[in-house]
């Protein structure tokens, strides 16, 4: 782009995350309050990279037991049987049930690892000061934000299966430890996405224009 793009940061202006109002902090000050909605203002989300990394590493660690440990235990007269998320996907797979099986596979296994990989990529490129593919990167961030909630599907599947299938002594279904880790992955990746500041993607390109100060 040949047009010199100016950002609020370069002009010492702060944009409110609550109400969107643009305002000027007192001279030399880095924090003030939004005169319209009283929100505390900063130029960028505070400690965005550190916080996002912390949530992301937590999510990556929980992702392992979430997939290795069983999420449901089915007790019948024949004994108890435990299923992991992947085994649940395989159980659902049938000539008629495969679309649902695919939904669970995507929502529970592919989306969480995809989110972790995408956010790690965004963090690394921001830290390296990358100035390329900015539009694609911000689009990736929006996808992560938009799709993230759908990982919760398996938590709901297991919750309602367990609460409904209580047919003692015939059959009973109870959650298992894997579900706790899986729920943690969903929550931590959502918090990671929320603490990432997409404006950081553009900051390296803007600072190259040397307009600040």
Partner 1 sequence: MWDPAMYNSPLSDSSLIACPDCDLLQRLPEIAPGESARCPRCDVELWRRHAHSLDRPLALTVAAAILYVVANSVPMLGLTVVGHEAFTTVFGGAAHLWSAGWEGVSALVFFTAVAAPGLQIGLMLAILLGARRARPPRWVGTLLRYYEQVATWSMIEVMILGVLVALIKIADYAKVIPGLALFVLGALIFLIAAIEASFDPREVWDRVEWAEKAARQPAAGEPMTEAAS
Could you say which residues in the range 125-184 bind partner 1, by CB under 8 A?
Answer: 134-135, 138-139, 141-142, 149-150, 152-167, 170-171, 174-175, 179-180, 183
Size of the site for partner 1 (CB under 8 A): 78
Q: Give the residue, chosen from 17, 57, 65, 204, that forms a contact with partner 1 under the rule CB under 8 A.
A: 17
Instruction: Say whether residue 124 binds partner 1 (CB under 8 A).
Output: no
Complex with partner 1: residue 23 or 130, whichever CB lies closer: 23
Report the C-alpha gap between 59 and 190 in whole angstroms: 10
Are residues 59 and 184 in contact, defined by beta-carbon separation less than 8 angstroms?
A: yes
100 binds partner 1 (CB under 8 A): yes
- Tell me the closest approach of the beta carbon of residue 17 to partner 1, in angstroms: 7
| Cα end-to-end span (Å), the chain | 22
Which parts of 45-74 interact with partner 1 (CB under 8 A)? none
CA distance 208 to 211: 8
H or E, element range at 143: helix 134-147
Among 30, 35, 50, 90, binds partner 1 (CB under 8 A): 35
Nearer to partner 1, 53 or 83 (CB): 83
208 binds partner 1 (CB under 8 A): no
The one segment of 32-40, 57-65, 111-119, 120-128 that binds partner 1 by CB under 8 A: 32-40
Phi and psi at 74, nearest 5°, equal -105, 120
| Residue 9 or 56 having the CB closest to partner 1 | 9
Residue 23 binds partner 1, judged by CB under 8 A = yes
Show the site string, 184-203: x = touches partner 1 by CB under 8 A, - = not: ---x--x---x---xx-xxx
**Gap between the Cα atoms of 151 and 207, Å rounded:** 37
DSSP string, 76-135: ETTEEEEE-HHHHHHHH-STTTHHHHHHHHIIIIIHHHHHHHHHHHHHHHHHTT--SSHH
């Amino acid at each position: 782009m040949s047009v010199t793009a100016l950002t609020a940061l370069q002009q010492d202006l702060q944009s409110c995350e609550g109400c969107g109002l643009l305002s000027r902090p007192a001279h030399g000050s880095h924090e003030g309050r939004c005169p319209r909605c009283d929100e505390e203002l900063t130029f960028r989300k505070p400690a965005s990279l550190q916080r996002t990394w912390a949530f992301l590493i937590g999510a990556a660690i929980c992702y392992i037991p979430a997939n290795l440990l069983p999420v449901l235990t089915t007790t019948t007269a024949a004994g108890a049987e435990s299923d992991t998320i992947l085994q649940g996907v395989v159980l659902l797979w049938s000539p008629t049930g495969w679309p649902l099986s695919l939904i669970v596979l995507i929502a529970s296994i592919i989306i969480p690892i995809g989110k972790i990989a995408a956010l790690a990529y965004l963090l690394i490129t921001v830290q390296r000061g990358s100035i390329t593919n900015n539009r694609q990167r911000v689009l990736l961030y929006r996808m992560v934000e938009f799709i993230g909630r759908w990982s919760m599907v398996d938590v709901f599947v297991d919750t309602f299966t367990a609460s409904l299938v209580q047919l003692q002594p015939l059959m009973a279904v109870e959650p298992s430890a894997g579900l706790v880790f899986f729920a943690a992955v969903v929550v931590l990746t959502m918090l990671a996405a929320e603490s990432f500041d997409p404006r950081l993607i553009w900051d390296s390109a803007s600072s190259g224009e040397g307009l600040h100060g």
